[in-house]
Amino acid sequence: MDRIITLIDGSAYSGSACDHAAWVSEKTSFGIDLLHVIDHRPGGRSGPVNLSGNLTLGARSELLEKLTKHDEEGARLARERGRVIIEAAKTHLEGKGLTDIQTKLRNGDLLQAVQDVEEKARVIIIGKRGEHADFAKLHLGSNLERVVRSAHRPVLVTSRAFKEPRRATIAFDTGSSVAKAVDHIAMGKLFAGMEIRLLHVGEATAGLMAAMEAATGKLRKAGYDAAFETLAGEPDAIFTEKSASGEIEFLVMGAYGHSRLRNLIIGSTTTQMIRSCPVPVLLFRPDMNA
Amino acid sequence: MHFLRLDAFDWTRTRQEWVGNIRGDLLAGLVVALALIPEAIAFSIIAGVDPKVGLYASFSIAVLIAFTGGRPGMISAATAATAVLMVTLVRDHGLQYLLAATILAGGIQIAAGALKLGNLMRFVSRSVLTGFVNALAILIFMAQLPELIGVTWMTYVLVVAGLAIIYLLPRLTKIIPSPLVCIVVLTGLTLYFGWDVRTVGDMGELPDTLPVFLIPDIPFSFDTLMIILPYSAAVAAVGLLESLLTQQIVDDLTDTPSDRNRECVGQGTANIVTGFLGGMAGCAMIGQSMINVKSGGRGRLSSFAAGVYLLFMILVLGNWIAAIPMPALVAIMIMVAIGTFSWSSVKSLRSHPLSSSIVMVATVAGVILTHNLAIGVMVGVFLSGIFFAWKISRIFEITSVLSTDGRTRTYMVRGQLFFASTEAFTKAFDFKEALDEVTIDLTSAHIWDISSVQAVDLIVLKFRREGMTVNLVGMNQASETLVDRLGEHDKPGAFDRAIGH
């Protein structure tokens, strides 16, 4: 059951998510599951304005009926819309010659939907921004962090447009997430034929250098053209600059190693990197079964 | 950081609950606040305290429950259900004891939430809940009677005029809350013509400052505790019942789930703080919550906004509020009573099973006689338990076959054996039939309690006295239901073995 779970909504990023899914599928021969979660919260939005503030005979049943009708219409519209989105994505992928495509249209919470299907998944693909995010402000989609934090599989966060990468850069540190990432690359098929660069920005301690050398050795043994590099400076700035200049085409990194509280106060490196690097990012978490 | 459980805290959901519907919540909060003012005053009058006690309570409970409650979009404040319980406490001991009782009731509610007693709501049947709602509506209406008996004819004119405005204005426009128009018009007319009717100002002191934190002025002794405890227990029980019931209604209306035990703890917290702020105990309000949902309120912000608007209005408009004529309040409370009453339940009295109708009516009667909703609910739950046991006891059947030689008979028992069915069970055997051997096959029966075990023993003994050999078959399977922990599924398949065999 090797599936590529691709999350799509009606946003500009959905097309790119599909293109990335096609690329992963071609290289790994995993099938694609297109998943659209219908964004409809029953009772979540209020119906027609009625501020009369009075209670009449049989007020409760009347109100219940009215709200049900309102939700019913909304739900039907949302479902129609979801079907259009998912069919369009399927047609798009079939146009690229892919055949093993399944579509899944689900109601409810996105996290729940992902948890329900991820057992069969090898990788989860999600666009960097969703329908409701403000592109101009470089805000990330509100669901991105929730999905990454709860998922037990690697998550590929796609950039706005797909361009086939020839080189993948691992943002290297000594954490267990990155070790997971290295193992995943060494054993998997996705990166076959790509150059792998290990890049660490910051202090180059002896331990780090040893770990980096070992990781590079492991990748070379697996047949990759691998090399490593350390640079001094601010990680954000250097990664952003290298992504913008085209030197980094595809980023692999550990994700959300800290608690939400810490992120709330000092901000998350992961979020910052995803936001400012205009390239696809493959995220690994320590508790993921790659 | 385990003790804070920050990762378990769902930021996204909390944000959604607070700012997911800002415009709707702020607008609905205003409609609710306008309706809360007359209600808080009316309920203070029911309890026999100054209007400010109910107004402070409504402010404090509405604001606090926005943070602590388990059901976003539900409105809590000073209520009729809790007010009627405290009448004698206030009359005999005074306001300070009421505040102390409020704090203690909050403590009891927190304990109930911690013990997850919210889950006990499953034992309160639909008929009991309907009875509760109807009884509450009748209590609210009856509380208006003192304002309608022995008053000037002008009072009746104004009440009718008020009701006409409340019910007819929404046909013209749904942008302005009609109860508000009722208050403004009746107050204006009364002031202009100088009619002789009672006003809110006649009923006691209105708030003129922000509430302050005070410890109730009572002797801290065992005697005091014994005075307030019965009231606190009743208030805690009724408060939780009405809150959990309202929660269910809002869940249904908005088709979203919510957390019952969090609501219990939230109600308790709100009552404790309210007691220290000089407010009387309250709980969730069915009518107000319906008004909130109808006006577009869905989030926690709606309750918070309602509380803040309420305090702002009473502080700024205090003098005008004192001039509101009582008939305007009475008209609004009659509307609340009518809106709370479940009219469909009267229509379905005939079509529903007799036992359900009896439970509903008994619940109402219990409340009307005692003015205590908790007692009515207890009567209802008790009766529905009895009716249920009675019905289940009839799911029971004994068949028998005589062997061809006429010497042995096999009884096959199917169904539920428990205290209510043991008599029928015992009677089904023919002890006077002259046989050599009797086989009792219990494989398809379920033995639920000690009464039925004893009944089986007794039957075996009776047959033996007649000199017959008795074989019991399937006793082990039948008695698996005796294990009290059946529902815990401690062994896989335990349920199937017990119920399905």
Helices (H), chain A: 13-28, 59-95, 110-117, 142-150, 176-187, 206-221, 235-245, 260-266, 269-276
Report yes or no on A106 lying in a domain: yes
Q: Give the angle subtended at the CA of B495 by the CAs of A112 and B125, to the nearest 5°.
A: 75
Report yes or no on B321 lying in a domain: yes
CB neighbour list of residue A2: distance below 8 Å, 6 or more residues apart: A28, A30, A31, A120, A122
The pLDDT of residue A132 is: 63
Tell me the C-alpha to C-alpha distance, in Å, between residue B352 and each of A271, B218, B469: 59, 50, 49
Which domain does B446 fall in, by range? Answer: 396-500
- B45 and B102 part of one domain: yes
Report yes or no on A62 lying in a domain: no
- A111 and A180 part of one domain: no
- B231 and B324 part of one domain: yes
Report yes or no on B262 lying in a domain: yes
Q: Looking at beta carbons, which residues of chain B come within 8 Å of A45?
A: 21, 24, 298
Q: Return the closest-CA partner of residue B210 out of B291, B263, B278, B270.
A: B278
Report yes or no on A8 lying in a domain: yes
The pLDDT of residue B47 is: 92
Q: How confident is the model at residue A15 (pLDDT cuts 50, 70, 90)?
A: confident
The pLDDT of residue A115 is: 83
Q: Return the closest-CA partner of residue B315 out of B64, B38, B59.
A: B59
How many helices (H) and strands (E) chain A has is answered by 9, 10
The pLDDT of residue B108 is: 96
For residue B40, give both structure tokens.
């808080």
Report yes or no on B476 lying in a domain: yes
The pLDDT of residue B388 is: 93
Which of B386, B409, B427 terminates a domain? The answer is: B386
The pLDDT of residue B330 is: 92
**Which of A54, A71, A264 shows the shortest C-beta gap to B255?**
A71
Report yes or no on A117 lying in a domain: yes
Q: Looking at beta carbons, which residues of chain B come within 8 Å of A46?
A: 21, 24, 28, 295-298
Nearest CA in chain A to B33: A53
- A143 and A273 part of one domain: no
Mutate to test the interface with B, among A51, A57, A146 (most CBs of B within 10 A): A51
Q: Give the tens place of pLDDT for each residue, B305-356.
A: 999 999 998 888 888 888 999 999 899 999 989 988 988 888 888 899 999 9
Percent of chain A residues past pLDDT 70, beyond the cut? 86
Report yes or no on A114 lying in a domain: yes
- In this structure, are residues A123 and A5 in contact, taking their beta carbons and an 8 Å threshold? yes
Q: How many structural domains does chain A have?
A: 2
Mutate to test the interface with B, among A39, A40, A55 (most CBs of B within 10 A): A55
Report yes or no on A71 lying in a domain: no
Q: How many CA atoms lie within 13 A of B294 on its CB side?
A: 26
Q: How far is the C-alpha of B66 from the C-alpha of B265, rounded, in Å?
A: 13
Report yes or no on A60 lying in a domain: no
Range of lowest pLDDT (A28-37, A147-156, B35-44, B406-415): A147-156
Which of B352, B386, B420 terminates a domain? The answer is: B386
Report yes or no on B15 lying in a domain: no
The pLDDT of residue B165 is: 94
The pLDDT of residue B485 is: 45
Rounded to two decimals, the ipTM of the complex is 0.72
Task: Please name the amino acid found at residue B159.
Answer: V
Q: Looking at beta carbons, which residues of chain B come within 8 Å of A47?
A: 296
Q: Give the tens place of pLDDT for each residue, B68-111.
A: 999 999 999 999 999 999 999 999 999 999 999 999 999 999 99
CATH code for the domain in which residue A18 is found: 3.40.50.620
Backbone angles phi, psi at A135, to 5 degrees: -65, -40
Report yes or no on B4 lying in a domain: no
Average pLDDT, integer, range A62-83? 85
Which of A103, A122, A150 terminates a domain? The answer is: A150
Residue contact A54–B31, C-beta within 8 A: no
The pLDDT of residue A1 is: 67
Q: Give the tens place of pLDDT for each residue, A254-287.
A: 887 766 665 656 557 788 888 888 899 999 987 7
Phi-psi region of B474 (alpha: psi -120 to 50; beta: other; left: phi over 0): left
Q: Give the tens place of pLDDT for each residue, A99-136.
A: 899 998 888 778 888 888 888 888 999 988 776 655 54
CATH code for the domain in which residue B494 is found: 3.30.750.24
How many residues belong to chain B? 501
The whole-angstrom distance between B420's CA and the closest CA on chain A is: 38
Residue contact A46–B21, C-beta within 8 A: yes
Mutate to test the interface with B, among A54, A66, A263 (most CBs of B within 10 A): A54
Tell me whether strands A281-284 and A155-158 are parallel, antiparallel or unpaired.
antiparallel
Nearest CA in chain A to B180: A53
**pLDDT at A140 > cutoff 70:** no
The whole-angstrom distance between B15's CA and the closest CA on chain A is: 11
Report yes or no on A100 lying in a domain: yes
In the sheet that holds B408-417, the strands lie side by side as B396-402, B408-417, B437-447, B469-473
Phi-psi region of B171 (alpha: psi -120 to 50; beta: other; left: phi over 0): alpha
- B342 and B414 part of one domain: no
Residue contact A52–B335, C-beta within 8 A: no
The pLDDT of residue A255 is: 82
Q: How far is the C-alpha of B334 from the C-alpha of B340, rounded, in Å?
A: 10
Q: How many structural domains does chain B have?
A: 2
The whole-angstrom distance between B173's CA and the closest CA on chain A is: 8
Tally A–B CB contacts below 8 A: 121
Q: Looking at beta carbons, which residues of chain A come within 8 Å of B249?
A: 60
Judged by DSSP in three states, B70 sits in coil
Range of lowest pLDDT (B56-60, B394-398, B481-485): B481-485
**pLDDT at B63 > cutoff 90:** yes
**Which of B9, B169, B296 shows the shortest C-beta gap to A49?**
B296
Report yes or no on B143 lying in a domain: yes
**pLDDT at A204 > cutoff 70:** yes
- B313 and B287 part of one domain: yes
Average pLDDT, integer, range B294-309? 94
Query: For all residues of chain B together, what is the average pLDDT?
Result: 88
- B357 and B226 part of one domain: yes
- A111 and A33 part of one domain: yes
Q: How far is the C-alpha of B337 from the C-alpha of B141, rounded, in Å?
A: 6
Q: Give the angle subtended at the CA of A181 by the CAs of A179 and A187, to the nearest 5°.
A: 105
Which of A126, A150, A174 terminates a domain? The answer is: A150
The pLDDT of residue A267 is: 59
Which domain does A200 fall in, by range? Answer: 165-284
Tell me the C-alpha to C-alpha distance, in Å, between residue B384 and each of A215, B133, B434, B449: 70, 17, 43, 20
Phi-psi region of B36 (alpha: psi -120 to 50; beta: other; left: phi over 0): alpha
Residue contact A45–B338, C-beta within 8 A: no
The pLDDT of residue B5 is: 40
- A146 and A7 part of one domain: yes
- A278 and A141 part of one domain: no
- B65 and B129 part of one domain: yes
Average pLDDT, integer, range A201-213? 89
The pLDDT of residue B15 is: 82
- B403 and B327 part of one domain: no
Q: How far is the C-alpha of A272 from the C-alpha of B291, rounded, in Å?
A: 44
- B175 and B226 part of one domain: yes
Report yes or no on B13 lying in a domain: no
- B355 and B425 part of one domain: no
Average pLDDT, integer, range B28-47? 91
**Which of A45, A59, A260 shows the shortest C-beta gap to B339?**
A59
Task: Please name the amino acid found at residue A20.
Answer: H
Q: How confident is the model at residue A40 (pLDDT cuts 50, 70, 90)?
A: low
- A144 and A182 part of one domain: no
Residue contact B178–A53, C-beta within 8 A: yes
- B365 and B411 part of one domain: no
Q: Give the tens place of pLDDT for each residue, B213-243.
A: 888 888 889 999 999 999 999 999 999 999 9
Q: Looking at beta carbons, which residues of chain A come within 8 Å of B80?
A: none
- In this structure, are residues B448 and B482 in contact, taking their beta carbons and an 8 Å threshold? yes
**pLDDT at B501 > cutoff 50:** no
How many helices (H) and strands (E) chain B has is answered by 22, 6
The pLDDT of residue B484 is: 53
The pLDDT of residue A259 is: 63
Q: Give the tens place of pLDDT for each residue, A117-127.
A: 888 888 999 98
**Which of A53, A56, A64 shows the shortest C-beta gap to B31?**
A53
Report yes or no on B488 lying in a domain: yes
Torsion of CA B359, B361, B363, B366, to 10 degrees: -130
The pLDDT of residue B490 is: 43
Q: How confident is the model at residue B277 (pLDDT cuts 50, 70, 90)?
A: very high
- B415 and B370 part of one domain: no
CB neighbour list of residue B37: distance below 8 Å, 6 or more residues apart: B55, B310, B313, B314, B321
Give the other-Cβ count within 10 Å of A286's Cβ.
14
Total-model pTM:
0.75
- A35 and A117 part of one domain: yes
Which of A117, A150, A183 terminates a domain? The answer is: A150
Q: How far is the C-alpha of B108 from the C-alpha of B130, rounded, in Å?
A: 25
The pLDDT of residue B9 is: 61
Which of B386, B407, B425 terminates a domain? The answer is: B386
The whole-angstrom distance between B26's CA and the closest CA on chain A is: 12
- B365 and B409 part of one domain: no
